[in-house]
A and B are shown apart, each in its own frame.
Chain A
Amino acid sequence: MSTLLTADMIRKWAPVLVLIGLVLLFTTINPHFFSLRNFARITISSTPALMVAVGVTFVILMGSIDLSMEGTIAVCAVLFALILNIFGGSISGIGWLAIPGALLAGAFLGAVNGIVHVQLKIPSFMASLSLGFIGIGLSLLITGGNRILIDDPVFRSLLTFRIMGFPLMVYAALLCLMVAWFIQDDTVIGRNFYAVGGGEDLARASGLNVGRLRIIGFTLAGIFYALGAIFAVARLGIAETETGRNFMFTSITSVVVGGTALRGGSGGVWSTLVGVLIVNVIGNGMVVTGLPDYFQDGVLGILVIFAVYLSTDRRSLSFIK
């Protein structure tokens, strides 16, 4: 019994140990890695990634997958910038309407994703992949391939205004993480995500409307992608189709590396925070230690394979498609 408990403990805390190990490793290679300025840099790059990864965490908890984030982020970022600029260009005026506007767009795209997946009975990876392509097409259609610049100082203060060395957006993201934690642990919807991920047949037999829950899960994910899009725009001051680039692979890697199993039912948003930090520490560490950043995709590829490998209980699985 006690050995079982420790094995479980190791599995639970392994991602945190990996994170600490990586920080120590990069610090020994280059002491400049361990500085407030560099940590601020890591958290800034983590902020949009965290929102997107938290969104897809809800979907993965149900045992589904969402590959549509690049398209959804592109659409939300572009719409956000467009609405902001139409309503005077400042978030302090009526331009604030851009925030609910982007969140609504994210919720809408997520809901469409969920409805296509549930009602047409298409596997979620393919439904969401298709909708991701459609999203990228939509944002290209809206922008005509151009960039939209945002130079509202109030909005950019998310990046420029710092408290204790960390910009405002980091605290805002932590607040959103708390909301996600609340949804996950203290709402019926959140508990039902675990129920469906842990055993869909059982959840269905208990009278749970699984289809409706899945649609809610995808909608929630869409809202968090929109938050990620807003932070990404705040970080760069630019909204374009490219804003969504690379989020799909990195966010899923983050979730899986953090310890949320792809089959669903275990893990959660705190695991995802650890996973996002691991991925961004690796990205930052590679730059600090002088490795070219394009190795990142390859390293993440190897990382995700091993994370899924370690998290899979291979005895319980017979066939993998």
Chain B
Amino acid sequence: MRRHFPWITLVCGLLLVGLTDVRFLSPANLLGLATDVAPLLIMAIGITLVIYIGSIDLSSQSIANMTTVLTTIALPAFGVVSGVLVVAAGFLCGAISGMVTTRFKVPSFISTLAVGGIALSIGQYASGQQALHMDTVQRQQAFGWLLGKTAGIPHELMAAIIVALLAWFIQSHTIAGRIFKAIGTGEPVAVASGIHVERYKILAFALSGMFAAMAGVMFSVRLSGGSPTLAEGFLLPAIVAVLVGGTPLTGGVGGVASTVIGTMIVAVVRASMIYFNIPATGQQIFFGIVLIVAIASTIDRSKMLTVK
């Protein structure tokens, strides 16, 4: 029953808003809704991998912020390669978080907070603390493929779906994915089975950093620029999307597919708030409460001897 709860919530949400305004359920509107949350989805997928192994990543928003700045700066010199470079930078940031967590034994919420601080500094330094803008022609040449539509489906949405499929493939059809599940289900057992747990934990953090950077690239192309605060406000909905989707804080179950549903729930809730005239500040309070409820109802207490 619990497994089916997220998509039932999604359908109920859609119907609820659909009852007040049928136009909400039109394919064009739903497509727009999904496209809107494409960067959020990519970031949430990255965080999913880390929560899946029972850790947490609080650096995603800062990495995405840094990425919007670096992409905008690198665009004139490197063109489309700038995207590849910054995604590699995101991977590196994540790997550092992972190494600090596993080798230095620093709890992940602190290590990722610290790496987030470093990423924020890099973003502020590189941007000179101001908003930067992309040259329209250069943006079109390098990232024009992200902006158009094919058969009515925006390319941004397609890109997000491809990224989600890639993450889903990693999670369910590779050795690394199976080991992520093993770590999330029972880390001591994984260690006892002779798995290099540390290596795979670092990989999970690195992938999360990489996905956060991808989200940053997409966001900066969409807004045609970058600033060290551009992705502000992404962290809360991204974590909410993961937990509401059904990946518990203790890890091991759920995964990428759950997060896709979780992100759609976030999108529907956001849209419904506009329909019901609830101010944006109400959203933050609402999502905060939803987060607490989602954690409390999904967390696996048998894995926690004491709750600190």
Residue from B122, B188, B301 within 8 A of A318 (CB atoms): B188
Residues of A within 8 A of B55 (CB): 321
Interface string of B281-299 (1 = CB under 8 A from A): 1111101110110011001
Min distance, Cβ B294 to any Cβ of chain A, angstroms? 9
Decide yes or no: A308 and B106 within 8 Å by CB, A298-B122, A318-B188 being known contacts.
yes
The one of B108, B115, B288 in contact with A133, judged by C-beta atoms closer than 8 angstroms, is B288
B281 and A304 contacting across the interface, CB-CB below 8 Å? no
B224 CB–A CB distance under 8 Å: no
Q: Tell me the residues in window 83-101 of chain B with beta carbons closer than 8 Å to chain A beta carbons.
A: 100-101
| Interface: B102 (CB within 8 A) | yes
Which residue of A121, A126, A134, A312 is within 8 Å of B105 (Cβ)?
A312
Q: How far is the CB of B209 from chain A (nearest CB, A)?
A: 14
Main secondary structure of the interface of B (DSSP, over half): helix
Whether A138 is near chain B, meaning CB under 8 Å from some CB there, is yes
Q: Any chain A CB within 8 A of the CB of B148? A: no
A201–B304 alpha-carbon span in the complex (Å): 13
Judge whether B165 is part of the interface by a CB distance below 8 angstroms. no
A321-B104 Cα distance, complex, nearest whole Å:
12
Counting CB contacts under 8 A, is A94 at the interface?
no
User: Which residue in B105, B187, B288 is a CB contact (below 8 Å) of A130?
Assistant: B288
Tell me if B306 counts as interface (CB < 8 A to partner A): yes
- Which single residue of chain B is at the shortest CB-CB distance from A320? B105
Give the interface segment out of A100-108, A147-155, A174-182, A289-297: A289-297
Q: Mark B216-260, 1 if CB is under 8 A from A, else 0.
A: 000000000000000000001000000000000100000000000
Tell me if B137 is interfacial: C-beta within 8 Å of chain A: no
Q: A125 to B108, alpha carbons, bound, how many Å?
A: 11
Check B56–A141 contact: CB distance below 8 A: no
Please give the distance in Å from B240's CB to the nearest CB on chain A: 9
Does B306 contact A200, Cβ atoms closer than 8 Å? yes
For residue B121, CB closer than 8 A to chain A, the reply is: yes
- Across the interface, A126 reaches (CB within 8 A) one of B114, B120, B295, namely B295
Q: Contacts A137-B281, A201-B306, A295-B121 given: A312-B104 contact, CB under 8 Å?
A: yes
CB pair B284–A297 under 8 Å, yes or no, is no
Q: Do B121 and A294 have beta carbons less than 8 Å apart?
A: yes
Give the chain A neighbours of B108 by CB distance below 8 A: 320-321
- Assuming A63-B308, A124-B308, A137-B282, is B107 touching A305 (CB within 8 A)? no
Chain B residues with CB below 8 A from A121, complex form: 296, 299, 301, 304, 307
Known: A297-B121, A301-B115. A141 touches B288 (CB 8 A): no
Q: Does A163 have its Cβ within 8 Å of any Cβ on chain B?
A: no
Contact with B along A281-321 (1 / 0, CB 8 A): 00000000000101111111110110011001010011111
Closest A residue to B201 by CB, please name it: A320
Whether the pair B104, A308 counts as a contact (CB closer than 8 A) is: yes
Interface membership of A120, Cβ < 8 A: yes
A273 at the interface (CB under 8 A from B): no
Q: Measured between alpha carbons, how far is A262 from B107 in the docked complex, in Å?
A: 9
B194 within 8 A of A: no
A125 / chain B contacts, CB cutoff of 8 Å = 56, 107, 109
Contacts of A319 in B (CB 8 A): 187-188
Out of B101, B109, B279, name the residue touching A141 (CB < 8 Å).
B279
Give min CB distance, A256 to chain B, whole Å.
Answer: 8
Is B109 a contact partner of A140 (Cβ separation < 8 A)?
A: no
The CA-CA distance from A312 to B114 in the complex, in Å, is 17
Q: Which residues of B contact A120 (CB under 8 A)?
A: 292, 295-296
* A-B contacts, 26 listed (Cβ < 8 Å): A65-B308, A122-B299, A127-B292, A127-B295, A133-B236, A134-B288, A136-B284, A137-B282, A138-B285, A141-B279, A141-B281, A141-B282, A256-B110, A294-B129, A298-B118, A298-B121, A299-B121, A301-B116, A305-B104, A305-B106, A308-B107, A309-B105, A309-B106, A312-B105, A320-B107, A321-B54
By a beta-carbon cutoff of 8 Å, the part of chain B in contact with chain A is 54-56, 58, 100-102, 104-111, 113-118, 120-122, 124-125, 129, 187-188, 236, 249, 279, 281-285, 287-289, 291-292, 295-296, 299, 301, 304, 306-308
